[in-house]
Amino acid sequence: MSRFVSRTRHAGSIGQTIGTAAPVDLPSDPVGPFGRLGRRVLLALALITLVALLTYIERDGYVDPEDGEISVLDAFYYSTVSVTTTGYGDIRPVTDSARLVTTLLVTPARVLFLILLVGTTLEILAERTRVAYRLARWRKTLTGHTIVCGYGTKGRSAISTLLGQGIAPEKFVVIDKNPDSRAAANAAGFTAVAGDASSQAVLEEAGIHEAESIVVAVERDDSAVLIALTARELAPRATIVASVREEENVHLLHQSGADSVVISSGTAGRMLGMATHAPGIAAVLEDLLSVGQGLDIVQLEVEPEQVGPVSALVSDGPVVAVLRDDELLRFDDERAAEVRAGDKLIAVRSRPV
C-alpha cells in the first residue's frame, strides 16, 4: 500500500508540472448567439414587410415610371431599397399622404434597420472581447465556491443536494474531461472547466485557492486519490469530500487529505440489503438523504444558550449524534448527554434548516 501511495504522489506531482491552462465554459445565454441573430433577422424582415404593406396601401400616392402602377412586388422592392438606404428613386411618393407615411413611418423603420445591422455587426466583432470580459469578471468574483470533480451521477447528485441546502448555482465549478458532461453542466447553469482534476493547472483554473470545498466524484478510485492529493496541497483549509468504489481504498483517500469519504458501491449495496427485507427502513434513509423534502438530517452548531442537556434540544426533532473535536458521539454515548460550546449536532428535522 505504501508503494501505491508513493506512486500516487509521484503521479500527482507530474500532473502539476505538465499541466496547462484549461478552457473555462461559462453558463451560456439560454437564447444563444444564433438565437439572438435570428431574432434580429426576423425583426428586419418584419420592418421590410411593414414598409411594403404601407406602400401598397398608399399605392395611389406612389408613382412607378415603368408602368404607372404599384404592385405587391413593386411595394416590396420599394421597401427593400428604402429600408436599406439604397434608394434608386424609381418608385417615389408623389402625394402628400404618401410623403407623410414615408416621413413618419418609413424613415424611422430605415433608421431602426440600420441600428439592427450595425448592432449585429458590432456584436459579432466584439464577441471575443465579451467572452474575455465575462471570464475576467467571473474570476474576480470567484470565492467561497464548491469545486465538483466529475459531473456524472454522483457529481450531479451532490450538486442537487447542495442546491437543496440553499447554495446558489453560481457557487459551483465543475471539472470534467468529457465535453458532453461539461455541456450538461453549462445547460444546468454551472461553470465548467475542461481537463483532468488531478492537474494543478486545471484546479487553479477552477479557483481552488479560493474554494471552500471540493467534491471528488470521479469513477476511478486511483483518480480520486490523485485529485485529493493535489487539491489538499493547493487548498490546505478547504473541505474535501470524496467517493470511492472499494472500501479498501478509504484509508488512501484519508491519507491523501480527504476530510470525508463515502463508499458508493458499499452504501448502495447496504441500501439494497435493507430494502430486501425491510423496505420501510430503506425508504426512511432515502428520505433523509433527499434534502428539502420530508425528513432532513442536518448538522447544527451549538449556540451558547444551548449548552447543557441534549434532551432539551429535541423540540424540533431528535438529536442522533454529537460531533465533538472530530469525534462522533452517538446518542447513546454518555458523553453526548451534555452538549458543550463548539459541539456540532447531527439531528433530524421535518423541514430544511
- The string of pLDDT tens digits covering residues 250-281 is 899 999 999 988 887 767 667 677 677 777 76
189: CATH: 3.40.50.720
In tens, the pLDDT along 129-162 reads: 767 777 788 888 889 999 999 999 889 988 988 8
Counted domains in the chain: 3
> For residue 2, is pLDDT > 70?
no
Q: Domain check: are 47 and 188 in the same one? A: no
The runs of H, that is alpha helices, within the chain are 2-18, 33-57, 72-83, 96-101, 107-125, 127-141, 153-164, 179-187, 200-205, 221-234, 250-256, 264-277, 279-289
**C-alpha to C-alpha distance for 92 and 286, rounded to whole angstroms:** 76
Residues in the chain: 353
> For residue 173, is pLDDT > 90?
yes
Q: Domain check: are 90 and 237 in the same one? A: no
Single out the residue in 247, 267, 287 at which a domain terminates. 267
Residue 286 falls inside a structural domain? no
Q: Domain check: are 148 and 261 in the same one? A: yes
Q: Domain check: are 15 and 152 in the same one? A: yes
Which residue range forms the structural domain that includes residue 299?
A: 295-349
Residue 272 falls inside a structural domain? no
Q: Domain check: are 22 and 166 in the same one? A: yes
Most confident option among 102-106, 139-143, 193-197: 193-197
* Count of CB atoms situated within 10 Å of the CB of 350: 9
Residue 103 falls inside a structural domain? yes
> Greater confidence, 182 or 329?
182
103: CATH: 1.10.287.70
Residue 107 falls inside a structural domain? yes
pTM: 0.58
Cell, residue 92: 417615389
Q: Domain check: are 57 and 114 in the same one? A: yes
